[in-house]
Structure 1
Amino acid sequence: MEWSDEQRSFVAAVREFCSREAGTRAQRQELTDGGREPHSPELYRKLADLGWLGLSLPEEFGGGGAGMVELCLFLEETARAMAPIGGFTTSIITAAAYERFGSPEQKKLILSGVARGVIEAIAMSEPEAGSDVANLSCRAERRGDEFVVNGQKTWCSNAHLAEHILLVARTSGRAGDHTGLTMFLVPTSTPGLTITGIETMGGREVNDLYFTDCVLPADAVVGEIDQGWRQLMAGLNMERLILASVMLGTAQRAFDDVVDYVKNRRQFRRPIGAFQVIRHRLADLATEIECARLLVYTTAGQVDRAPGTVLPRETSMAKLKATETARRVALDAMQMMGGYGYATEFDMERLVRSSVVSTVYGGTSEIQREIIAKTYGLTEQLQ
């Protein structure tokens, strides 16, 4: 890709920062309680002080006013460095929803907070509604000037770190309807909200949320009542490109690490990278990474040129390609490293875990394929 001098300088600055602050495994272990916490508040504060957490947010809220391309560059570079800032993705995705649909007061609270380093989270999935978002049943019932929320959310990333939850709940209709969904701003300190962590291979990342007679004021509504589905669709460009950029950086890191390994690991009196079977596998992986990179940044450029346009085909392709590529690269790299790729004292096993789950969150690979197919007029005909 061709970058401007300013973009190249920005990438170099991010790379230097990550190398200095989290460039060694020992540093990352110290920042993450031995790898158990994907997010380091200490490192996050330093990024906030540099102004990078608000990179893509409006200047009036303390942001940098940069575009999607610059945000993707930041995400790719920090992911390649394995910088433990797991709270950033949900925060910037959530901030974008408030930027588009929030009231002036909500924008000031959330956008300026994200720029300062406040973590935000969004709650959509439920035990019976994952890929099928229309099946949401967590309900917010109108009672006078308030809403009373009851129900459960699950797999909510970073809720345990967040100051607020962007809740998507049903305000009318029944489960299975795309209409009748509404977004709400819910402080995590709200009575009636319980946050319970879910143990995963990635450490403390996701949570169950339980709402029991949780009372919200009328001004907690984000956007319009019953228009949550339309509002969610408007944010797909950013969400998919954010996830694609993170996995692009993850794929590059796995590739860089395995190349370094095969150049130094000797078997049968020569480096294993000298064997044709290894060389050709790595050539294929490098090609796939570059294909993913071109797709991600071409799509990001389209978003910057037409910010209000939803690009379901292109963004789904970018998310599908980047996450599937990251998974393939990490799994192949683990095999080429043998037992060292499997051992927890090396980074590769972490890269494998994060890349495998990337094909599930934010819309599974199967859902992305369905979306792409529909843009070509290919739909299943129900009998």
Structure 2
Amino acid sequence: MSLDYHDFSDEQRAFASAVTDFCKRETGTREQRGEHPHNPAVYERMAGLGWLGVTDAGLVDTCVFLEHTGYGMAPIGGFATSAIVAGAVRRSGTARQQATVCGGLAAGRTFAIAMSEPEAGSDVAALACRADPGPDGGWVINGQKTWCSNAHFADAILLVARTAGRPGDHDGLTMLLVPAGTPGLRVAGIDTMGGREVNDLWFTDCRVPADAVVGVPGQGWRQLMAGLNLERLILAALMLGTARRAFDDALGYARERRQFGRAIGTFQVQRHRIADLATEIDCCGLLVYRVAALADAAPGRVLARESSMAKLKTTEVAKQVALAGMQMMGGYGYATEYDMERHVRATLVSTIYGGTSEIQRDIIGRSYGL
């Protein structure tokens, strides 16, 4: 860790160093990382080291892992969604589901979560994809989901579907685990500036058994709210690492690139820009680990305001850092030969997924009675 954001234990510092060393050795070059956000071979090696079960240890440990894999640009894009699904199952699932999902994550399996729909993004209550009781006691799913990250290689998808009520109701939503390859499920990729990361899902008379339900039927909204701390901190910690990496890449360039007979970092405009970015990143680190420590101290407490602040601040700063880095590097920042353009792509979308910055601001504002 480049900065003392938190009173880390010796074990956490050792863990951070181990992850950093692994990334330098195993994912330090573009060739090692590959062109896709998720590299199964790297993911499996981390599973073999026992690292993918880190969410069992608490949120501070999880943030340590995500910050340092984000900094190391480790191509394990499936981890974040898998950890979110595992968190939901750990809180609400049966022992069998926990063994399948939480144990599966630790062993290197991947999972996706499907909430958004063409007419329901930020407004989760507007979900219309339905799961109706089937003749065999199970559920029959019909409808569409969209923007589902990692569904094209996930072992199973945690689906949030409507089992009662109508669009606009918070009650009546249910979580169901749908294994990959279930008849009636079709997955189609959406082309984005980040490549193949998200998907459309179509459910046509897709049948799952009664024990596919995670938690209590009709209580999916409350179960989702219980997972806000984990989901938002996962995204914030990942972007904290990405922000630090973009900053260090820009700083290295500013020290080495010479124009007008001197390193460009010695010009006041660049020195001040570097100073501002470093200060903002430090603030983000303090915020992320403070919220993680609060959540670990009171596991059942939903920190809606604080977790929204962490997600909002860190993703916006990460975007600011990456865009400033591209500006400092000029044409080289735009070239695929350098990592800065990848940092820009990663940080731009971070202010959208997992609840947009506008939604985070609205949550924070409402928490003050507004």
Q: Which TM bucket (shorter chain)?
A: over 0.9
**2:148 corresponds to 1:143:** no
1:83 corresponds in structure 2 to 74
C-alpha distance in 1, partners of 2:15/2:241? 16
C-alpha distance in 2, partners of 1:71/1:111? 14
C-alpha distance in 2, partners of 1:374/1:21? 44
Question: Of residues 286, 292, 304 in structure 2, which corresponds to 1:294?
Answer: 286
**2:43 corresponds to 1:44:** yes
**2:2 corresponds to 1:11:** no
1:257-285 deviations in whole A, cap 9, x for unaligned? 00000000000000000100000001000
* One-letter amino acid matched to 1:56: T
* One-letter amino acid matched to 1:340: Y
1:297-321 deviations in whole A, cap 9, x for unaligned? 0000000100110000000000000
C-alpha distance in 2, partners of 1:296/1:290? 10
The 5-angstrom pairing of residues 278-293 of structure 1 reads: 278-293=270-285
Classify the secondary structure of the residue corresponding to 2:86.
Answer: helix
* One-letter amino acid matched to 1:266: R
1:56 corresponds in structure 2 to 55
For the aligned residue pairs, the C-alpha RMSD in angstroms reads: 0.7
Structure 2 portions without partners, runs of 5+: none
Aligned-pair distance for 1:4?
1.7
Classify the secondary structure of the residue corresponding to 1:53.
Answer: helix
Aligned-pair distance for 1:252?
0.3
**2:105 corresponds to 1:114:** yes
Classify the secondary structure of the residue corresponding to 1:55.
Answer: helix
The 5-angstrom pairing of residues 229-378 of structure 1 reads: 229-378=221-370
Sequence identity, in percent?
Answer: 66
C-alpha distance in 2, partners of 1:26/1:189? 31
1:123 corresponds in structure 2 to 114
C-alpha distance in 1, partners of 2:187/2:83? 21
Aligned-pair distance for 1:25?
2.8
C-alpha distance in 1, partners of 2:70/2:122? 26
Find runs of 4+ consecutive structure 1 residues off by over 6 angstroms: none
C-alpha distance in 1, partners of 2:348/2:68? 19
C-alpha distance in 2, partners of 1:342/1:45? 32
**2:65 corresponds to 1:74:** yes
Aligned-pair distance for 1:24?
2.1
C-alpha distance in 2, partners of 1:371/1:165? 27
Aligned-pair distance for 1:217?
1.1
Aligned-pair distance for 1:26?
3.1
User: Could you state the TM-score of these two structures normalised by the residue count of structure 2?
Assistant: 0.97
* One-letter amino acid matched to 2:319: R
Aligned-pair distance for 1:49?
0.3
1:92-147 deviations in whole A, cap 9, x for unaligned? 01000000111111111111111000000000000000000000000011133121
Classify the secondary structure of the residue corresponding to 1:56.
Answer: helix
* One-letter amino acid matched to 1:105: R
* One-letter amino acid matched to 1:275: F
Classify the secondary structure of the residue corresponding to 1:43.
Answer: helix
